[in-house]
Structure 1
Amino acid sequence: MRSLFGPVFFLGFIGLAVFMISHGVALGWLPALLVVAIVLSYACEKRWPYQVNWNKSQKDTARDYTHAAVNETFNVLGVAAIPLLAMWLPDRELWPKDWPLGFQFLLVLPIADLGITLVHYASHRWPLLWRLHAVHHSVTRMYGFNGLMKHPLHQMLEALGGTLPLLLLGMPLEVAALLAFAIAIQLLLQHSNVDMRIGWLRYIFAWAPLHRLHHLKYGTAGDVNFALFFSFWDRLLGTALDYRRYTVTDNDLGIGDRPDYPVAYLAQLVEPFRREQPAHPPAPVPATLREALIKDS
């Protein structure tokens, strides 16, 4: 089951969503399907945890629920606004409307993924973007649901990076809704606390065994594995890292020079706009992690 979890969860939920919408099921059923995915994610994390401690609340559950509710509401509103946006954009008839819905979805996935990945990459290099993105990196445990934990402004920037070219090409409402749903499913997998074994699929999909390394708090050690869906983008960017000799714990997560980063939801919304950002010495890299990096390099 540890080997099957990733591909079955990803292909099962996204494939079911494409099938439903292709056969005339209303888009309003996608949020209900996402709730089913979240519940199943929780159940599997309880059954096969990567870290048992990550299943326990650290006074962050209500905050994560709030982040997810706000951000997913904005996603729904953004998708719903596409018909209004289409009224303002010229129709150049560039979109392959005659393709089956499934093929249209397969077309948008790598394009959106590249745009989101580049915004994510820039967010670790530009201080103003990092201030917004730091909200996501403040987590001190990783479980599927806090993949949805982002500052709403940063989520908007990622969404624009991933979808603006597609919207200009005339991406239909149904395809945009499927893309938003697929992103939510992928975020559940990226941050999952399931001790999944993904084998050769790590060369294709950017799931939790790779993305946990991105959340390391030790300076630039976490400036790796930026991709949302497909790990090959990181190989093209030169930011791919896959070492399996080190087990990530809650002591490895967070922001190394901001151990006092606010935990409460409203405080996290305001934090990026504070003029003075408290500075602390960077967290020292544990000896065992240094050894793992040396051996795998």
Structure 2
Amino acid sequence: MRTLVRYGYVPYMLIGINGIGMAIVATGEPTLWMLGLLLLAIASSFLAERVLPYRDDWNTPHEDGGRDVAHATVNELFTLSSLAIVPILTALTPFDHLWPGDWPFVLQVLLAVLVADLGITLVHLASHKVPILWRLHAVHHSVKRAYGFNGLMKHPLHQTLETAVGFAPLILLGLPISVAYAVALCAAVQLLLQHSNVDYRVGPLRGVLALNQAHRFHHLKWAGIGDVNFGLFTLLWDRLLGTYSFDPQRQFSSQDLGMAAKPHYPGRYLAQLAEPFRASGACVSDQSKDRHRADASVSARQLRPEQNQAP
């Protein structure tokens, strides 16, 4: 069973779950079916994490179980419901004829994934550089363990921004609603895989797909050190932007995750929704920045010999 999960879990999620989703949207009534498929993906994530965990202690709640359920429920229901406005928006665009609607459906989805991935990657990168965006994105970086479900843990305003930028060019081109539903499912599945506590293997694809082995580097708690591997679906844009980093020997624990500058970030759901709008949700003071830059410099010297290795 462990071997099956190690090598079969990712194909099952990427090809199996997403493939079933693409078949469902062809029926024309995907909403409830897609929600059920998302619940199956979440259940599969929890099962795989218990069969083959990367770290056993990451399967134990860190007083975050109820909070993460709230984040995931709100965010995913909002995403599914917001897709209803896609046909309205595409009807307003003068460029709808540019969408390659005669392509095979799978290729249309892959094209949409690559385009959305660029927009989401750029928003993600900006969220580590622009203070007002970091206030919102910091919610996601407060996690102290990496498991599939906290991939769905985001401030709803930040998720809305990422989704809007990722989908905007697609909508301008006349994105069909069926493709939009498929991409939304692919994004949810990808977040489960990207933050997964499963010790799976994907071979050379670990340097192409934005999966957990590379994404753990993004959650390193030191400012600057974690500013890598921003992609949601792929690492292609990170390679072009020079933000790709990977070390096959690096191991991770809860001591490496979170935010060194804000180790006591609020842990409850409502408090996390409010924190970006409080004075305490701002970036750290210049004195604190200097101290944490020094911490990051030490960490960088420890990591530099191994970072940016080819997979």
Asked if residue 248 in structure 1 is aligned to residue 259 in structure 2, the reply is: no
For 1:186, the equivalent position in structure 2 comes to 190
Work out which of the residue numbers 27, 33, 39 in structure 2 matches 1:35.
39
Aligned to 2:50: 46
Residue 172 of structure 1: CA displacement? 1.1
Q: 1:262 aligns with which of 252, 261, 266?
A: 266
User: Distance between the aligned counterparts of 2:238 and 2:204, measured in 1?
Assistant: 16
**Aligned equivalent of 2:304, options 290, 293, 297:** 293
Task: Report sequence identity in percent.
Answer: 47
Q: Which residue of 2 aligns with 1:96?
A: 100
Moved more, 4-13 or 108-117: 4-13
Amino acid at match of 1:275: A
CA distance in 2, matches of 1:195, 1:92: 43
Within 5 A, what are the aligned runs for 1:114-263? 114-263=118-267
Counterpart-to-counterpart distance in 1, 2:296 and 2:200: 25
Q: Matched residues in 1 for 2:300 and 2:123: separation?
A: 28
C-alpha separation in 1, matches of 2:63 and 2:297: 26
Distance 1:294 1:107 in 2: 36
* 1:71–1:161 CA distance, 2 compared to 1 (3 A): same
Q: What amino acid sits opposite 2:178 in the alignment?
A: E
Q: Is the 8 A contact 2:145 2:257 kept in 1?
A: yes
1: distance between equivalents of 2:143 and 2:29? Answer: 36
Q: If the length of structure 1 is used for normalisation, what is the TM-score?
A: 0.93
Query: How many residues in Structure 1 have an aligned counterpart in Structure 2?
Result: 297
For residues 61-96 of structure 1, give each alpha carbon's deviation from its aligned partner in whole angstroms, at most 9, with x where no partner exists: 100000001101110121012233344434642222
Measured against aligned partners, the alpha-carbon deviations of 1:240-290 in whole angstroms (never above 9, x if no partner) come to 111022211011100111011100111111111113446555394698985
Q: What amino acid does structure 1 have at the position aligned with 2:121?
A: T
Distance 1:290 1:91 in 2: 50
Q: Residues 288 and 118 of structure 1: is their aligned pair in 2 closer, same or farther, counting only changes over 3 Å?
A: closer
What do the CA deviations read for 1:124-171 (whole angstroms, capped 9, x no partner)?
A: 111111110000000001100110000011001100111001111111
- Counterpart code for 2:12: V
In structure 2, C-alpha distance between the alignment counterparts of 1:141 and 1:232, rounded to whole Å:
26
Partner of 1:5: 9
User: Which runs of no fewer than 5 residues in structure 2 stay unpaired?
Assistant: none
- TM-score, normalisation: structure 2: 0.89
Q: Any idea what SS the aligned residue of 1:239 has?
A: coil
Does the CA-based 8 Å contact 2:207-2:214 persist in structure 1? no
Structure 2 distance, partners of 1:286, 1:244, is: 21
Are the aligned partners of 1:132 and 1:151 in contact in 2 as well (CA < 8 Å)?
yes
Flag structure 1 segments of 5+ consecutive residues without an equivalent.
none
Counterpart residue type for residue 173 of structure 2? L
RMSD: 2.1
Pairing partner for 2:114 from 104, 107, 110: 110
